[in-house]
Chains A and B, each alone.
Chain A
């Protein structure tokens, strides 16, 4: 049984149809990369799946439980959100809270965890992203890469079943991109289920096991990463891969640095 299944999701803003029937399946332990040109609806897709936007129609099946998008109750939304986490492009840390408080806030208030336990869990989450020496720093005292790692710690601390990432490294300089991708790679190795919108072809190729390529609000091609990169079927996919300068040659990995130009 897939952990997450989305069927026929549609969303428009005014007269603009941003999502025109997107299907998507994520199995437990999957790392699924969503690729596609800017404006193709990737962010909107993630936001609809986590109810930050209300989709116009579609079905969402989470852990075998089915929901009619557009008609999900507030209570169900709150319940589902406790099983998921979201990492934003621009981190969105609480600026009035320290790194540790950013992580513990949701544990204490949302997940009703006792404070001392929450602090332990919070410190461990920050340790996992390599920020053991930054517990009490405020977001504006941290680099972009560190802020994004705090955001990842905040995401993993409640042990969600899946984490959604929306271009987690797009706002970062190349050096800082590397540290964030390294953290994400480790999460993937630990078996975390992840749905990642990204432009990092190195990451998509070597870390994700499946790729979804979106264009104009529909899935243009999807499949196992290896196949997608080595043998893309659709003309549009080939054109996209060419445009971002990914070589189809066998060498893989260690491309995080270059991939982002």
Chain B
């Protein structure tokens, strides 16, 4: 590798990192928040067997899981203006990525809800709890703990998939890198560089996941201390 390549590598670091911090990460946070809300709703209407909405959820998941994310981005960003709906590229990216991932996360959450023994739901009824109370206090907390590792996985996946937004002109890390490549003709080092930054971001998320999982399993010890304190 020649000196020019290394020089470009070093000089571009900030230029790539900044859209990472200012676009890739906020985009991921926004899309994942949307994803969680929609996924939870999709999972709950199926778990509770709500008529009509439950069929809608199956249909939704069928569509979003069955077509490529990139195609969905193109339809919304390049297609919809044809019928007069123009959406800002960042909004389109948040919406499409969030709604797409919701289809997968809904399945994760539904499976986790169903893994909570029905006996606990029945015991809830027998102790005088309502359906909502049983969901909120018994089923959801256990389901979210079960779903946590898989959902973390989806979050990491989503972080990387925000790079697809480059295709609809969102100025995120990959898009920025492409611009620098066009200017400097150093594709190898620059694409490796952006890859390393993605790797750093995912590594941080993986570390956070580990901490979260440990917290979920040690939470009982802490709880016990609190209980004793108030006794």
Name A87-108 residues within 8 Å CB distance of B.
88, 90, 92-98, 100, 105-106
On whether A135 and B130 interact (CB within 8 A), knowing A52-B122, A94-B123, the answer reads no
**What sequence of 0s and 1s flags, for each residue 86-130 of chain B, a beta carbon within 8 Å of any chain A beta carbon?**
000000000000000000000000000000010110111111111
B4 at the binding interface (Cβ < 8 Å): no
On whether A94 and B126 interact (CB within 8 A), knowing A109-B137, A136-B227, A136-B228, the answer reads no
Q: Which of A8-16, A78-86, A218-226, A241-249 contacts B (4 or more CB under 8 A)?
A: A78-86
**What sequence of 0s and 1s flags, for each residue 43-54 of chain A, a beta carbon within 8 Å of any chain B beta carbon?**
000000010100
A97 to B128, CA, bound (A): 16
Task: Verify B128–A111 contact, CB threshold 8 A.
Answer: yes
Report how many residues on chain B are interfacial, defined by Cβ distance under 8 Å.
24
Task: Verify A78–B128 contact, CB threshold 8 A.
Answer: yes
- Which of B123, B137, B231 sits near A93, CB closer than 8 Å? B123
Name B181-225 residues within 8 Å CB distance of A.
220, 223-224
Given contact pairs A94-B120, A97-B138, a sample of 18 additional A-B residue pairs in the complex whose CB atoms are under 8 Å apart: A52-B122, A81-B125, A81-B126, A81-B128, A93-B123, A94-B123, A94-B124, A95-B120, A95-B142, A98-B227, A105-B138, A106-B124, A106-B129, A110-B130, A110-B133, A138-B220, A154-B123, A158-B128
Task: Verify B119–A90 contact, CB threshold 8 A.
Answer: yes
Within the complex, what minimum Cβ distance (angstroms) separates A161 from chain B? 13
A50 to B224, CA, bound (A): 34
A81 to B142, CA, bound (A): 25
The main secondary structure of chain A at its interface with chain B is loop
Task: Verify A100–B227 contact, CB threshold 8 A.
Answer: yes
B81 at the binding interface (Cβ < 8 Å): no
Contacts of A109 in B (CB 8 A): 128-130, 133, 137
A88 to B121, CA, bound (A): 12
Contacts from B to A (Cβ < 8 Å): 117, 119-120, 122-130, 133, 137-138, 141-142, 145, 220, 223-224, 227-228, 231
Contacts of B127 in A (CB 8 A): 85, 105-106, 110, 154, 158
A-B residue pair count with CB separations less than 8 angstroms:
77
A94 to B133, CA, bound (A): 13
- Which of B122, B141, B227 sits near A88, CB closer than 8 Å? B122
A98 to B226, CA, bound (A): 12
On whether A92 and B125 interact (CB within 8 A), knowing A98-B223, A138-B220, the answer reads no
Contacts of A136 in B (CB 8 A): 223-224, 227-228
Task: Verify B141–A98 contact, CB threshold 8 A.
Answer: no
A253 to B213, CA, bound (A): 50
Within the complex, what minimum Cβ distance (angstroms) separates B175 from chain A? 44
A154 to B133, CA, bound (A): 17
On whether A85 and B126 interact (CB within 8 A), knowing A94-B138, A98-B227, the answer reads yes
A95 to B117, CA, bound (A): 10
- Which of A92, A96, A105 sits near B142, CB closer than 8 Å? A96
13 example contacts (A-B, Cβ-Cβ < 8 A) are as follows: A50-B126, A78-B128, A78-B130, A81-B126, A82-B128, A94-B123, A94-B137, A94-B138, A109-B128, A109-B130, A110-B127, A110-B133, A151-B123
Within the complex, what minimum Cβ distance (angstroms) separates B188 from chain A? 51
- Which of B119, B130, B141, B224 sits near A92, CB closer than 8 Å? B119
Contacts of A100 in B (CB 8 A): 227
A162 to B148, CA, bound (A): 40
